[in-house]
Structure 1
Amino acid sequence: MSTPLPRHAFAQQLHRLGLLAGDVIMVHASLKALGPVEGGAEGIVQALLDSIQPGGTLMAYVSWDRSPYEETFNGATLDAAARNAWPAFDPSDPETGTEPDYGLLNRFICRMPGVRRSPHPDANIAAIGAHAQALVGVHPLHEGYGPGSPLDRFVRMGGKVLLLGAPLDAVTVLHHAETLADIPHKRRVRYEQPVLDAEGHKVWRVAEEFDTNGILDVFAKEGAMDSVETVARAYVAEGRHREGCVGEAGCFLFDAQDIVRFGKAWLEQRFA
């Protein structure tokens, strides 16, 4: 087993990649690809925070491991017993889970002191730092990734997307580009989510948004590359990013405003 990379050395590598004090960073990470780091996942989170202080903010797309997305998708229903038994999403509870498919690092981010999670269960975003509450305090159920969402505010703040060994299909901010793209036949989905009302009681609410599993039919076919990976590959091919090695992983750093503008234009040029 290789010797864990010291946390300060990990932070230095992040600086060389392009992280600066005051940055607003959205991270997607593969712990396996990064290799051993001092302090494990918690050490990685702390090194990320060290790299953007003072004044920085760390953000991640974490979702919820109990989201009834599939069970209520586009008219599907749960029986009364299942609805009654289903837990309500509580963004203030440190034991509220995250979706494992989006990386184990998210679990540790959500347990860090001062973390804030947005009130949209399925499109859930977590943030730590100076702008955490401003980024995730409001998250409408009717548009998880579009205007008024944490992704919208992240882009407007001049955020950066950091891929630490994560694949190019993980660039969640490109779902924001999908919502902005002026193209016909974009797919919409509806589903239900159990949330807490102002009195702390569980209520079921309808969520609706553009389909992140395939914004157009061409991207929703079995085995087809989705639009996020397709656009991200095209963006990287143009060299409008920074890349380097952090730990044992090949990593990318994207300017969020630039990649969203690129993604919106790329989709409109081909499908409008």
Structure 2
Amino acid sequence: MRSQTTITCELRSLGVNAGDLVMVHASLKAIGPIEGGAVGLVAALRDAVGTEGTLLGYASWDRSPYDETLHGAKMDDQQRRNWPPFDPATAGTYRGFGLLNHYLATSPGALRSGHPDASMVALGPRARFLIEPHRLGEAFGNGSPIERFVNEGGKVLLLGAGLDALTVLHYAEAIAEIPGKRRVTYEMPLQGADGQTVWEAVEDFDSNGILDCFAIEGQPDGVETIARAYVPLGRHTQGQVGCAHCYLFDARDIVAFGVSYLEQRYFAPSAKPGR
């Protein structure tokens, strides 16, 4: 079992520095036993970035009705009436994106963005700047917390998580100038001013496959495809934290690579004369 101090030192050796803005994706199983468990890992991360640093995580929502309302799918009336509205202060986190996000969200001082399905959690002095605003229809693209994170010079930390976990690359998908991007429609329940639940219609890019070729079951999506092409360039750092093999990426650099990767391979010459 590693101590919090040991984990902090390993994070520093990987390149996490005091004052950094770090988006974390973690597999607690891959990291192995840590003093204090997941809470201890959060404490080690906070120690590594220091009091001036900020942590960001992708929390989503464990009660998101995305699948139930996708592309006009209808819920029965009783299910719709009983579905809870999204409340950033109390909403659960989607376990499929890692249990660490639950502990980030429940840490004292943590703030949660107001987009139910793409909810982000931030902890540190830049938390409010990162999470507000987070409007429906702007999950990962222009105007999103991810855009602000990238523009602020953030770093992306994979602690035993796979390359398909690089949420920041959804921003590259959103801003890349390529034709044929897939769109989705769905609904989200929000708390109305009168306390009643208001269902809001949403249209956004399809983060499960920005192009048809990335939406084939069993095949890598755009995020994983871009990440696999980026890693061999060696413009990142990697090492061990706990028992896990870990990566640290410069968000601006990997996003710029992702945009270029998509535009060079999937750009239609007829769409933009002279290019």
TM-score, with length taken from structure 2: 0.96
> Counterpart of 2:86?
89
User: Retained in 2: the 8 A contact 1:145–1:209?
Assistant: no
Aligned equivalent of 1:219 = 214
Deviations 1:184-233 (A, max 9, x none): 00000010000113444321111221101100000111211101001001
SS of 1:184 mapped into structure 2: coil
**Runs of 5+ in structure 1 lacking a partner?**
none
Alignment of 1:1-272 (within 5 A): 4-93=1-90, 96-272=91-267
Task: Report the AA paired with residue 22 of structure 1.
Answer: G
Identity of aligned residues (%): 56
Distance 1:20 1:254 in 2: 13
Q: Distance in 2 between matches of 1:198 and 1:108?
A: 29
Aligned residue type for 2:22: I
Contact 1:143 1:207 (8 Å CA) reproduced: no
Change (3 A) 1:66 1:257: same
Given the superposition, is the C-alpha separation of residues 182 and 105 from structure 1 closer, same or farther in structure 2, using an over 3 Å criterion?
Answer: same
Shift of 1:78: 1.2
SS of aligned partner of 1:120: coil
Q: Distance in 2 between matches of 1:199 and 1:15?
A: 48
The 2-side partners of 1:108 and 1:66 are apart by: 17
Q: Write the letter of the residue equivalent to 1:15.
A: R
SS at match of 1:58: strand
Partner SS, residue 257 of structure 2? helix
Gaps of 5+ in 2: 268-275
Q: How many residues align?
A: 267
Query: Counterpart amino acid of 1:86?
Result: W
Output the amino acid matched with 2:244: A
Provide the secondary structure at the position in 2 that maps to 1:48.
helix
- The question of whether the paired residues in 1 share the 8 Å contact of 2:59 and 2:97 is answered with yes
Give CA deviations for 1:137-179 in whole Å, capped at 9, x if unaligned: 2101012110100000000110000000000000000000000
Does the 8 A contact of 1:117 with 1:127 survive in 2?
A: yes
CA distance in 2, matches of 1:12, 1:114: 24
Distance 2:198 2:237 in 1: 44
2:230 partner letter? Y
Give SS of 2:262's match: helix
TM-score, normalization: structure 1?
0.97
Q: Secondary structure at the match of 1:212?
A: coil
Distance 1:214 1:122 in 2: 16
- The match for 2:271 is none
